[in-house]
Amino acid sequence: MKNKFSELWPSPQSRTGIQESVITELNNALMRVQTGSTTGSGDIEKLRETINAFDFNTPQDLSAVAKTVIGLLEDATVHTMHPGYFGLFNPSVTFAGVIADQITATLNPQLAVWSHAPAAIEIERFTIQAIGSLFNWPKKEITGHFTTGGAEANFTSLLMALTKYNTEYADAGVWAYQNRPTIYVSKESHLAWYKFAHHAGIGRESVRLVDTDGLGRMNPDSLQALITNDKASGFQPIFIGATAGTTNAGMIDPLVACGHIAKQENLWFHVDAAWGGAAAVLPELRSLFAGIEVADSITVDAHKWFAVPMGAGIFLCKDNKLLGETFRVKASYMPKGDESLDPYTHSIQWSRRFIGLKLFMSLATLGWQGYQAHVASAISLASQLKMRLEQEGWSVVNDSPLAVVCFVDAKADLDLPCVSEFIVSKGNSWISSAKFEGKDVLRACISSHFSTTEHIEILLNDLNEARGK
Ligand SMILES: *Cc1c(COP(=O)(O)O)cnc(C)c1O
**Residues 330-379: pLDDT tens digits?**
877 777 777 888 999 999 999 999 999 999 999 999 999 999 999 999 99
Q: Name residues contacting ligand 1 (CB within 6 A).
A: 89, 149-151, 154, 190, 243, 247, 272, 274-275, 301, 313
Residue 182's pLDDT is what?
A: 98
Q: Following CA atoms 253, 259, 260, 264 in sequence, which dihedral angle do they give, to the nearest 10 degrees?
A: 130
Provide the 10 A C-beta neighbour count for residue 172: 11
56 CA distance to ligand 1 middle (Å): 36
CA of 274 to the centre of ligand 1 (A): 5
Per-residue pLDDT, 374: 98
Q: Which residues of the chain have pLDDT under 70?
A: 1-3, 469
Give the pLDDT score at 1. Answer: 58
Put residue 201 in one of left, alpha, beta given phi > 0 → left and psi -120 to 50 → alpha: left
Atom of ligand 1 nearest to the CA of 244: 13
Alpha-carbon gap, residue 239 to 207, rounded angstroms = 10
Closest atom of ligand 1 to 275 CA is: 15
Q: What is the pLDDT of residue 416?
A: 95
- CA 304 to centroid of ligand 1, rounded, Å: 9
For every residue of the chain, which 3-state class applies, written as one string? CCCCCCCCCCCHHHHHHHHHHHHHHHHHHHHHHHHCCCCCCCCHHHHHHHHHCCCCCCCCCHHHHHHHHHHHHHHCCCCCCCCCECCCCCCCCCHHHHHHHHHHHHHCCCCCCHHHCHHHHHHHHHHHHHHHHCCCCCHHHCEEEEECCHHHHHHHHHHHHHHHHCCCHHHHHHHHCCCEEEEEEECCCCCCHHHHHHHHCCCHHHEEEECECCCCCECHHHHHHHHHHHHHCCEEEEEEEEEECCCCCCCECCHHHHHHHHHHHCCEEEEECCCHHHHHHCHHHHHHHCCHHHCCEEEEECCCCCCCCCCCEEEEECCHHHHHHHCCCCCCCCCCCCHHHCHHHCCCCCCCCCCCHHHHHHHHHHHHHHHHHHHHHHHHHHHHHHHHHHHCCEEECCCCCCCEEEEEECCCCCCHHHHHHHHHHHCCCECEEEEECCEEEEEEECCCCCCCHHHHHHHHHHHHHHHHC
The pLDDT value given to residue 2:
61
Burial class (CB within 10 angstroms; exposed 0-12, middle 13-18, buried 19+) of 367: exposed
Burial class, 260, CB count within 10 angstroms (exposed 0-12 / middle 13-18 / buried 19+): middle
- Measured in angstroms, how far is the CA atom of residue 22 from the centroid of ligand 1? 31
**In angstroms, what is the span from residue 245 Cα to ligand 1's centroid?**
10
